[in-house]
Amino acid sequence: MEALTTWWTELLGGNAIFTANTLEFYWNGLTTTIQLVFLSLLIGILLAVPLAIGRGSKHPWIRMPIYAYTYVFRGTPLLIQLYLVYYGVVFFEGIQESMFWPIFREAFYPALMAFTLNTAAYTTEIFRGAIKNTAKGEIEAARAYGMSKPLMLRRIVLPSAFRRALPAYGNEVIFMLHASAVASVVTIMDLTGAAYYVYARFYAPFQAFIFVALIYLCLTFSVMFVFRRLERRLLAHLRPREG
Protein backbone atom coordinates (compact mmCIF):
# COMPACT_ATOMS: atom_id res chain seq x y z
CA MET A 1 0.00 0.00 0.00
CA GLU A 2 2.79 2.37 0.91
CA ALA A 3 4.64 1.62 -2.31
CA LEU A 4 1.46 2.27 -4.22
CA THR A 5 1.00 5.61 -2.53
CA THR A 6 4.54 6.65 -3.40
CA TRP A 7 4.06 5.54 -6.96
CA TRP A 8 0.89 7.60 -7.24
CA THR A 9 2.45 10.64 -5.72
CA GLU A 10 5.37 10.46 -8.13
CA LEU A 11 3.06 9.91 -11.07
CA LEU A 12 0.94 12.87 -10.08
CA GLY A 13 3.83 15.01 -9.00
CA GLY A 14 3.15 17.40 -11.82
CA ASN A 15 -0.05 18.82 -10.40
CA ALA A 16 -1.18 20.11 -7.06
CA ILE A 17 -4.77 18.95 -7.07
CA PHE A 18 -4.90 15.30 -8.01
CA THR A 19 -2.64 13.94 -5.32
CA ALA A 20 -2.87 10.51 -3.84
CA ASN A 21 -4.81 12.07 -1.05
CA THR A 22 -7.56 13.61 -3.17
CA LEU A 23 -7.73 10.54 -5.41
CA GLU A 24 -8.41 8.54 -2.32
CA PHE A 25 -11.27 10.91 -1.60
CA TYR A 26 -12.68 10.25 -5.05
CA TRP A 27 -12.16 6.54 -4.61
CA ASN A 28 -14.06 6.48 -1.32
CA GLY A 29 -16.75 8.60 -2.94
CA LEU A 30 -16.99 6.11 -5.76
CA THR A 31 -17.44 3.16 -3.41
CA THR A 32 -20.04 5.08 -1.39
CA THR A 33 -21.98 5.99 -4.53
CA ILE A 34 -21.88 2.43 -5.82
CA GLN A 35 -22.96 1.00 -2.46
CA LEU A 36 -25.77 3.49 -2.12
CA VAL A 37 -27.07 3.03 -5.65
CA PHE A 38 -26.60 -0.73 -5.77
CA LEU A 39 -28.27 -1.37 -2.42
CA SER A 40 -31.20 0.94 -3.10
CA LEU A 41 -31.75 -0.63 -6.52
CA LEU A 42 -31.53 -4.12 -5.07
CA ILE A 43 -33.97 -3.51 -2.22
CA GLY A 44 -36.08 -1.37 -4.53
CA ILE A 45 -36.55 -4.12 -7.11
CA LEU A 46 -37.35 -6.67 -4.40
CA LEU A 47 -40.08 -4.35 -3.13
CA ALA A 48 -41.27 -3.44 -6.61
CA VAL A 49 -42.09 -6.98 -7.79
CA PRO A 50 -44.80 -7.71 -5.19
CA LEU A 51 -45.97 -4.08 -5.33
CA ALA A 52 -46.36 -4.25 -9.11
CA ILE A 53 -48.40 -7.43 -8.77
CA GLY A 54 -50.53 -5.86 -6.04
CA ARG A 55 -50.91 -2.70 -8.08
CA GLY A 56 -52.98 -4.71 -10.55
CA SER A 57 -55.07 -6.43 -7.88
CA LYS A 58 -58.82 -6.37 -8.29
CA HIS A 59 -59.18 -5.48 -4.61
CA PRO A 60 -59.13 -1.69 -4.22
CA TRP A 61 -57.72 -1.90 -0.68
CA ILE A 62 -54.61 -3.55 -2.09
CA ARG A 63 -54.40 -1.58 -5.32
CA MET A 64 -55.13 1.93 -4.04
CA PRO A 65 -52.50 2.26 -1.26
CA ILE A 66 -49.82 1.10 -3.70
CA TYR A 67 -51.00 3.60 -6.26
CA ALA A 68 -50.97 6.35 -3.62
CA TYR A 69 -47.40 5.41 -2.68
CA THR A 70 -46.06 5.42 -6.24
CA TYR A 71 -47.99 8.62 -6.99
CA VAL A 72 -46.46 10.48 -4.06
CA PHE A 73 -42.90 9.24 -4.60
CA ARG A 74 -42.94 9.88 -8.32
CA GLY A 75 -44.68 13.20 -7.84
CA THR A 76 -42.16 14.83 -5.52
CA PRO A 77 -38.46 15.60 -5.96
CA LEU A 78 -35.99 13.05 -4.67
CA LEU A 79 -34.11 15.82 -2.85
CA ILE A 80 -37.23 16.68 -0.83
CA GLN A 81 -37.78 13.01 -0.03
CA LEU A 82 -34.18 12.80 1.13
CA TYR A 83 -34.57 15.84 3.39
CA LEU A 84 -37.79 14.50 4.83
CA VAL A 85 -36.28 11.13 5.70
CA TYR A 86 -32.96 12.55 6.88
CA TYR A 87 -34.41 15.27 9.12
CA GLY A 88 -37.70 13.50 9.72
CA VAL A 89 -36.51 10.37 11.49
CA VAL A 90 -35.77 12.20 14.72
CA PHE A 91 -39.41 13.16 15.04
CA PHE A 92 -40.30 9.54 15.56
CA GLU A 93 -40.87 9.30 19.28
CA GLY A 94 -38.12 7.39 21.01
CA ILE A 95 -36.02 6.56 17.96
CA GLN A 96 -32.97 8.15 19.54
CA GLU A 97 -33.23 5.69 22.43
CA SER A 98 -34.03 2.71 20.22
CA MET A 99 -31.70 0.12 18.75
CA PHE A 100 -32.18 1.72 15.33
CA TRP A 101 -30.60 5.01 16.27
CA PRO A 102 -27.00 4.02 15.46
CA ILE A 103 -28.28 3.23 11.98
CA PHE A 104 -30.34 6.35 11.41
CA ARG A 105 -27.79 8.67 13.02
CA GLU A 106 -25.58 8.02 10.02
CA ALA A 107 -26.56 9.94 6.94
CA PHE A 108 -26.02 6.85 4.79
CA TYR A 109 -29.08 4.95 5.98
CA PRO A 110 -31.67 7.69 5.69
CA ALA A 111 -30.32 8.33 2.19
CA LEU A 112 -30.49 4.63 1.39
CA MET A 113 -34.06 4.58 2.62
CA ALA A 114 -35.11 7.61 0.57
CA PHE A 115 -33.44 6.28 -2.56
CA THR A 116 -34.94 2.83 -2.09
CA LEU A 117 -38.46 4.18 -1.65
CA ASN A 118 -37.99 6.40 -4.68
CA THR A 119 -36.65 3.78 -7.04
CA ALA A 120 -39.17 1.18 -5.79
CA ALA A 121 -41.98 3.57 -6.76
CA TYR A 122 -40.67 4.05 -10.29
CA THR A 123 -39.80 0.38 -10.72
CA THR A 124 -43.26 -0.64 -9.53
CA GLU A 125 -44.84 1.42 -12.28
CA ILE A 126 -42.40 0.11 -14.90
CA PHE A 127 -43.17 -3.50 -13.95
CA ARG A 128 -46.87 -2.75 -13.62
CA GLY A 129 -47.00 -1.53 -17.21
CA ALA A 130 -45.05 -4.53 -18.44
CA ILE A 131 -47.28 -7.00 -16.56
CA LYS A 132 -50.39 -5.29 -17.90
CA ASN A 133 -49.10 -5.64 -21.45
CA THR A 134 -48.75 -9.40 -21.28
CA ALA A 135 -50.45 -10.82 -24.36
CA LYS A 136 -54.00 -11.90 -23.45
CA GLY A 137 -53.66 -14.99 -25.62
CA GLU A 138 -50.59 -16.18 -23.71
CA ILE A 139 -52.45 -15.85 -20.41
CA GLU A 140 -55.40 -17.69 -21.89
CA ALA A 141 -53.11 -20.49 -23.08
CA ALA A 142 -51.63 -20.74 -19.59
CA ARG A 143 -55.11 -21.08 -18.10
CA ALA A 144 -56.18 -23.56 -20.74
CA TYR A 145 -53.18 -25.77 -19.92
CA GLY A 146 -54.17 -26.00 -16.28
CA MET A 147 -51.79 -23.52 -14.71
CA SER A 148 -52.74 -22.09 -11.32
CA LYS A 149 -52.47 -18.32 -10.88
CA PRO A 150 -49.15 -18.43 -8.96
CA LEU A 151 -47.64 -20.81 -11.50
CA MET A 152 -48.82 -18.65 -14.38
CA LEU A 153 -47.33 -15.58 -12.69
CA ARG A 154 -44.02 -17.33 -12.09
CA ARG A 155 -43.64 -19.08 -15.43
CA ILE A 156 -45.44 -16.89 -17.98
CA VAL A 157 -46.40 -13.41 -16.80
CA LEU A 158 -43.31 -12.31 -14.84
CA PRO A 159 -40.62 -13.73 -17.18
CA SER A 160 -42.33 -12.12 -20.13
CA ALA A 161 -42.93 -8.83 -18.26
CA PHE A 162 -39.35 -8.56 -16.96
CA ARG A 163 -38.05 -8.87 -20.48
CA ARG A 164 -40.36 -6.13 -21.70
CA ALA A 165 -39.41 -3.96 -18.72
CA LEU A 166 -35.67 -4.33 -19.24
CA PRO A 167 -34.98 -1.26 -21.43
CA ALA A 168 -37.08 1.01 -19.21
CA TYR A 169 -35.47 -0.45 -16.09
CA GLY A 170 -32.02 0.20 -17.52
CA ASN A 171 -32.95 3.86 -17.78
CA GLU A 172 -34.15 3.81 -14.19
CA VAL A 173 -30.76 2.44 -13.06
CA ILE A 174 -28.93 5.24 -14.86
CA PHE A 175 -31.40 7.75 -13.48
CA MET A 176 -30.74 6.53 -9.92
CA LEU A 177 -26.98 6.67 -10.48
CA HIS A 178 -27.22 10.30 -11.47
CA ALA A 179 -29.87 11.19 -8.90
CA SER A 180 -27.65 9.77 -6.16
CA ALA A 181 -25.57 12.95 -6.48
CA VAL A 182 -28.07 14.64 -4.16
CA ALA A 183 -26.80 12.43 -1.31
CA SER A 184 -23.94 14.88 -0.87
CA VAL A 185 -26.29 17.53 0.52
CA VAL A 186 -26.88 15.45 3.64
CA THR A 187 -23.14 15.21 4.39
CA ILE A 188 -22.57 11.93 2.56
CA MET A 189 -19.14 11.77 0.95
CA ASP A 190 -20.26 10.18 -2.28
CA LEU A 191 -18.64 10.99 -5.62
CA THR A 192 -20.24 14.41 -5.80
CA GLY A 193 -19.40 15.01 -2.15
CA ALA A 194 -15.78 14.19 -2.88
CA ALA A 195 -15.76 16.53 -5.86
CA TYR A 196 -17.25 19.28 -3.74
CA TYR A 197 -14.57 18.75 -1.11
CA VAL A 198 -11.79 18.98 -3.69
CA TYR A 199 -13.36 22.06 -5.19
CA ALA A 200 -13.65 23.73 -1.81
CA ARG A 201 -10.15 22.86 -0.77
CA PHE A 202 -8.34 23.95 -3.93
CA TYR A 203 -10.93 26.31 -5.29
CA ALA A 204 -10.69 24.44 -8.57
CA PRO A 205 -14.30 23.90 -9.63
CA PHE A 206 -13.60 22.83 -13.20
CA GLN A 207 -10.96 20.24 -12.43
CA ALA A 208 -12.92 18.86 -9.50
CA PHE A 209 -16.25 18.54 -11.26
CA ILE A 210 -15.02 17.58 -14.72
CA PHE A 211 -13.07 14.75 -13.16
CA VAL A 212 -16.12 13.54 -11.29
CA ALA A 213 -18.26 13.91 -14.41
CA LEU A 214 -15.86 11.57 -16.20
CA ILE A 215 -16.24 8.99 -13.45
CA TYR A 216 -20.04 9.21 -13.70
CA LEU A 217 -19.73 8.80 -17.46
CA CYS A 218 -17.69 5.63 -17.04
CA LEU A 219 -20.23 4.25 -14.59
CA THR A 220 -23.09 5.09 -16.94
CA PHE A 221 -21.37 3.36 -19.83
CA SER A 222 -20.76 0.28 -17.71
CA VAL A 223 -24.45 0.15 -16.78
CA MET A 224 -25.45 0.60 -20.41
CA PHE A 225 -23.04 -2.14 -21.44
CA VAL A 226 -24.47 -4.57 -18.90
CA PHE A 227 -28.03 -3.83 -19.98
CA ARG A 228 -27.13 -4.10 -23.65
CA ARG A 229 -25.76 -7.59 -22.95
CA LEU A 230 -28.83 -8.53 -20.91
CA GLU A 231 -31.15 -7.32 -23.65
CA ARG A 232 -29.25 -9.29 -26.26
CA ARG A 233 -29.67 -12.41 -24.17
CA LEU A 234 -33.18 -11.97 -22.86
CA LEU A 235 -34.86 -10.25 -25.79
CA ALA A 236 -33.61 -12.76 -28.35
CA HIS A 237 -37.21 -13.78 -28.96
CA LEU A 238 -38.01 -10.36 -30.42
CA ARG A 239 -35.26 -10.42 -33.03
CA PRO A 240 -35.19 -12.22 -36.32
CA ARG A 241 -33.01 -15.29 -36.21
CA GLU A 242 -29.36 -14.81 -37.06
CA GLY A 243 -27.60 -17.00 -39.55
> Is residue 140 near other proteins by the rule CB under 8 A?
yes
With both helix axes pointing from N to C terminus, report the angle between 158-179 and 20-55 in degrees, rounded to the nearest 10: 140
User: Residue 146: left (phi > 0), alpha (psi -120 to 50), or beta?
Assistant: left
> Is residue 146 near other proteins by the rule CB under 8 A?
yes
94 or 240: CB nearest other proteins? 240
Minimum CB distance to other proteins, residue 141 (Å): 4
**CA distances in angstroms from 103 to 18, 89, 90, 111, 114, listed in the order given:** 33, 11, 12, 11, 14
164 or 182: CB nearest other proteins? 164
Minimum CB distance to other proteins, residue 235 (Å): 9
- In whole angstroms, give the CA distance from residue 45 to residue 122: 10
> Is residue 148 near other proteins by the rule CB under 8 A?
yes
Residues 6+ apart with CB under 8 A from 39: 112, 116
- In whole angstroms, give the CA distance from residue 136 to residue 172: 27
The 10 Å Cβ neighbour count of residue 167 is 14
Interaction mask 178-217, other proteins, x per CB under 8 A: ----------------------------------------
124 or 160: CB nearest other proteins? 160
Minimum CB distance to other proteins, residue 112 (Å): 33
> Is residue 155 near other proteins by the rule CB under 8 A?
yes
> Is residue 92 near other proteins by the rule CB under 8 A?
no
The 10 Å Cβ neighbour count of residue 103 is 15
4 or 238: CB nearest other proteins? 238
Interacting residues toward other proteins by CB under 8 A: 135, 137-138, 140-148, 151, 155-156, 159-160, 163, 236-238, 240-241
